[in-house]
Chains A and B, each alone.
Chain A
């Protein structure tokens, strides 16, 4: 049974509907990311769960209790904000203790819980400092400790890493995930950063235009995007136009080569054009194995990215991105070089919608 359930959620501001028919079931202890571009409605969904926005329609149920009309201060939900939102007039320890004092927890227990939380976030000695004396990463850790201290039923993270620099962002996302796993707290994480969502989540909800486009595990979202938007938004994608030969058998013609899709059936008629997508890492330099489609091409551009080299290759009238690992004993391919690229039919994604 779902621990947190969002049923048919809708939110309109005047004539504009920002979230529509949004459904999501979250299991206890699950880490869910709402991923999408700015204005897709992900923060609005989070704010409805927190109680800062009232849904126009639909309901929110936490652990069997309908909280749709409950005030935000009665929901027992912890929230971490992008802008940290630490109380500037209070020390770190006072910030963490704030929610506990509101709950009327005794001094001894409050002190113990504050120490426990500060230890959890790796800042046991900074209880006496004020927020302005901390770095951005430390402030966000304290904000996390403050949200977790009253033992909320659900933890909401509203782009908590966006204001931090790249290195701290990477280390803090690991820490957040470890703490979440350790406490087993049900978490909803809002982000527009696909790397964050893919690396941290149990499941991802990709949102666009107020609608959940696809819900799935990170590898499902990445490897089997169900819509054109998800395919384009998550990761880099090569797309080709192909012609359906036999829809039931799942065969099509791609760049003049006949291809049989291993999964078979296509939702299109014979002779129709469909868009087929392929990740850069699924394109191989040179012939690899039997059954691969091999196409001739020439290298247009070379981007050296450290461990990976991304090549732009002109193939069958379009440009294709291709990733290959860097090897210290081999220089990167030269621009203009004639090559062969191999694609496996099992890596082809036929895009719907």
Chain B
């Protein structure tokens, strides 16, 4: 009976998750009256705005990942190594983007960095791009920090650091050659999550008036029927590809193939 209930619950969960996706995919392929086709996908992929906005968002995602890593990895490492008492505070700060809506953050940015402020970042495209990237970093902070922190938890940070120090290594060497390679899978997990967040983000990009993928999806959704469904399937595909890459990275990481 318990076995039957477990299988029933699993089946219900899978159906609940898969049915809308199947429906959406099926709908996205009905653009032509003659039957199923990939016409909606062809239209979306050949749309110049799709290529521009997607490239823009990919670039922003990569910049966010690089700067996010530069901020989060040393911070999480130092907190684990030297400031364990500060850990609850850091965790609280990194969780704030989950409770403060993106619209509030972006209004704060606009108010603080507008053209009449002491740091007029919104006065130029580059400045606004930088501002948007920092906004994305803030949004991805809860995921990036947790992923890296979980990775650090699996290694003996203090002893590895001391071993490297006793062998003459400096802090930069320790971070880049000892710590980072050992939490690379965790960092990649955080990076792929960040990528997925940036690709789909709408509020910040729209309010800062940047040509990102999120506002394009919204625009398309407001004006077309089949193409938004095709775009949503593509977006899902990208997210799943990211998740598959996380799994691949874990599987092919040689030194984590067995318990230490």
Q: Check A150 against B163 for contact (C-beta < 8 Å).
A: no
Q: How far is the CA of A75 from the CA of B162 in the complex (A)?
A: 13
Residues of B within 8 A of A118 (CB): none
Q: Check A132 against B168 for contact (C-beta < 8 Å).
A: no
Judge if A304 is at the interface, Cβ distance under 8 Å. no
- Residues facing B in A49-102 (CB within 8 A) are 50-52, 71-79, 81, 83, 85-90, 98-99, 102
- Name which of B163, B184, B255 has the most chain A CB atoms within 10 A of its CB: B163
Interface window among B29-37, B110-118, B153-161: B153-161
Q: Check B259 against A132 for contact (C-beta < 8 Å).
A: yes
* CB within 8 Å for A81 and B159 given contacts A88-B256, A88-B260: yes
- B-side interface mostly: helix
Residues of A within 8 A of B225 (CB): none
Q: Check B163 against A103 for contact (C-beta < 8 Å).
A: no
Q: Check A79 against B166 for contact (C-beta < 8 Å).
A: yes
Residues of B within 8 A of A156 (CB): 166
**Interface mask (B154-178 → A, CB under 8 Å = 1, otherwise 0):** 0110011011111111100100001
Q: Check A132 against B160 for contact (C-beta < 8 Å).
A: no
Q: How far is the CA of A298 from the CA of B62 in the complex (A)?
A: 83
Q: How many residues of B contact A (CB 8 A)?
A: 25
Q: Check B160 against A87 for contact (C-beta < 8 Å).
A: yes
Q: How many residues of A contact B (CB 8 A)?
A: 33
Residues of B within 8 A of A74 (CB): 168
- Residues facing A in B20-59 (CB within 8 A) are none
- Residues facing A in B242-260 (CB within 8 A) are 254-260
Partner pick for A89 among B163, B170, B255, CB 8 A cutoff: B255
- Residues facing A in B213-260 (CB within 8 A) are 254-260
- Name which of B165, B166, B170 has the most chain A CB atoms within 10 A of its CB: B166
Q: Check B256 against A103 for contact (C-beta < 8 Å).
A: no
Q: How far is the CA of A120 from the CA of B144 in the complex (A)?
A: 44
**CB-based nearest B residue for A94:** B177
Q: How far is the CA of A164 from the CA of B150 in the complex (A)?
A: 28
Q: Check B178 against A87 for contact (C-beta < 8 Å).
A: yes
**A contact set with B: CB distance below 8 Å:** 50-52, 71-79, 81, 83, 85-90, 98-99, 102-103, 130-133, 143, 146-147, 150, 156
